[in-house]
Amino acid sequence: MHEHEAVIEEARKQFGDILQESKQAIYLYLDDTHKTCNEKFASMLGYKSAEEWAAVMKPFTEAFVEQQSQHRLVSAYQDAMESKSGSHVDVTWMRKTGGYVNTKVILVPISVRGELLALHFIAEV
């Protein structure tokens, strides 16, 4: 198993209860290929399952984030990773089937196996 795959798998196990039981949509992001989400987030964006969402191999922002929100999300992510501090940002997501979802996102840096990931909590507005 590739190291990043092992990191995402461990993160999924470590945060499994939160992913399954939270009332909020959530995703964990390591890189465009290595990500996971809960069923609430997948459904919010029109995917049949978290696995279908995670299997999308396009660049993350291109695949999921409305163009005007892309810079805001990337900047918040970079700031969180550099400062090791949580942040929040307004993000408009693209649904798989068309249309958009306006949200508020809280992102928090976490470390799994020495790798920094971002844990994102998403609330529709």
Over residues 68-112, the pLDDT tens digits come to 999 999 999 999 999 999 999 999 999 999 999 999 999 999 999
E-strand ranges in the chain read 25-29, 35-37, 87-94, 100-112, 115-124
DSSP letter string, 83-111: HT--EEEEEEEEPTTS-EEEEEEEEEEEE
What is the tens place of the pLDDT at every residue in 26-80?
Answer: 999 999 999 999 999 999 999 999 999 999 999 999 999 999 999 999 999 999 9
Residues listed for the chain: 125
Show the domains of the chain with their CATH numbers.
3-124 (3.30.450.20)
* pTM for the structure as a whole: 0.95
